[in-house]
Amino acid sequence: MRGEMPVVVALALVLSLIVATIYYSTSTLNYVSTPSGSEQAAWGVIGDEIDSIILSTLARLSSNASSLFTSTFWGNYAEYFSYQSSLVRFNSSAKYEWYYDPVSGNFQRCPTSMRWDVVYNYDDYVCYGLCESNYTSRGFNQSFARFYNAVNLSAQSVSTLLASSLYNTVRNWAGLMNTLGYTVYPSGVIVNASYATTIASNITTGSSYSRVALRVNVTVDVYNPYLGYKRITRWVEIGYTAVFQQGYWKYDGLYLPVYVTAYANFNGVPSSYIVNPNTTRLTVYSGSLALLNFTQTNKGNITMTPVAAYYYGNGTTYLVFRIPISPSYYWPWLQEVAVWRYLVLSSAYCDDSYPPPYSLSLPDPKQPALDMLRRKVTVAFLWAGLLGVEIYGFNLLTGLKLVFKFYVNTNPPSYDWVDSIPFDLFGDERASFPPGTVV
C-alpha cells in the first residue's frame, strides 16, 4: 500500500494539471473570440454616427431635393390635353332663349351662332356611351403614361443627388475620424440611394394608390489599432403609401381625402411615423381644371395644405385637401353650368342649346347623322397630383393619380342637359358613377 500511494498522488496531480490547462485554454479562447463590452460599444457609437449622418444629410438636402424633383417633373410632364383654334357652332333654336352670365350678373340673349373661345382635343378623351369599368381613351392613357414617366425621372434625379452628397459627407467624416485614431479606407466607402415609386389603381374600388420608398445604404471599412478592423453597413428607409378613392364636390370647394400611411426603418427595425399635416403639401394640375373658371387656381395649378386631419394609428393619417370655389359660384347649379360650358361644350354660354362637340372635325350639328349616333359620351381627365410628406425632416415626393370624370346624355328624360350630367373626382378612370346619378 505504501508503494501505491505515490502513484495515486502523482496521477491526481497530473489529472488536476490537465483539467486546469483545458479550463485556462478554453477561457482564453472565449476571451479572444468575443469582443469586450467596451469594443462593442465603440463600434456601436460609430454605427450611430453613420445613422446620424444619413438623417442630417437628408434633412439638409430636403429643400434642394424638392426643388430638383418638381423642376424635373414639370420639365418632363406634358399633359396630352391641348388647346386648339376657335370654331363656330350654329344653333337655329336659340333665337329667343336667355342665359344668365355669372360674370356680369346679367341675363343675355343666346346668339344663333357661337364661337368657341377655347377648344380642346375632345375626340382624344371621349368614350361613346356610358363607360365605367370599360372606359379608355387615348388622351387619358397618354397623359398618365407621361405623368408616371415624369415622376420616375424626378425620383431618379433625386436619388443621384442624395448619393453624391452623402458620399462627400461620409468622406469628410472619415477625415475627422482619422484625427481620432481611426482609419476609414476611402476605397471602402460605399453609398447607395434608391427612390422607388409606384402609382396604380383599383378598378373594383375606383381608388388609386401611390407607394414611395427612399432607402440609403452606407458601408465603411474602419481600422483601429486597439479595436482592429471592421466593415460597418448602416441603412435607413423612409416611405409611405397614399390612397385616394373619391372626392367630394361641395358648394364651397372640391374636397380631396387622402389616406397616408408612413413608416421609417433603421437597419431592419421598422416603426410607424406620424405625419405632420402642417408640412404636407398636395399640388394638382390639369388643363381641364384650368377651364373650370369657378375654381381658384393658377391656370389649373394649385398647391394645398390639409384643411382637416385625423390620425388613425399605426402610421395612418386621414388628410383632406380643398380646391376652393369662388364665392360667386357657391350655387351648385352654376358649377354644373360651368362644367357644361367649358368641358362639355367647350365654352358655349347657352348651356341647353348646343350639343356637345362630338367631333372637332365635324362640330356643326347640321350633321344630324353624326349627332344622333353619339348622343351619350363619357369623358375622363387626369388631374396630375404631386404629394409631399415630410419624414424625419425630408420632404418625400411622389405622384398621386386623380381623375375628373363626367357622363353626358344629350337626350335625358327631363330634357335638361345640365341637370343630367354626373361628374366627380375618382382615383381610377374606370370608376363607376354613384347610384342614381346616371340617366
Give Cβ neighbours of residue 414 (< 8 Å, ≥ 6 apart).
420, 439
143 CB contacts (<8 Å, ≥6 apart)? Answer: 79, 80, 81, 381, 382, 384
pLDDT digits (tens, 9 = 90+) for 148-187: 999 999 999 999 999 999 999 999 999 999 998 999 998 9
pTM for the model stands at 0.82
Q: Which residue is listed with cell 375618382?
A: 426
Give the model confidence (pLDDT) of 312-344 as tens digits: 999 999 999 999 999 999 988 888 888 887 787
Continuous H helices in 111-199: 138-179
Q: How far apart are CA 298 and CA 291, in angstroms?
A: 11
Q: By mean pLDDT, which of 207-221, 257-271, 319-333, 407-421 is the weakest?
A: 407-421
The pLDDT score that the predictor gives to residue 260 is: 99
For 51, 196, 210, 225, 307, the CA distances from 215, given in Å and listed in that order, are 12, 9, 17, 33, 30
Give the domain ranges of the chain: 41-426
Q: By the 8 A CB rule, do 325 and 335 touch?
A: yes
Cell of 248: 367630394
pLDDT digits (tens, 9 = 90+) for 109-159: 666 565 555 567 877 888 888 899 999 999 999 999 999 999 999 999 999
The Cα 170–Cα 70 span in angstroms is 27
For a pLDDT cut of 70, what percent of the chain falls above it?
A: 75
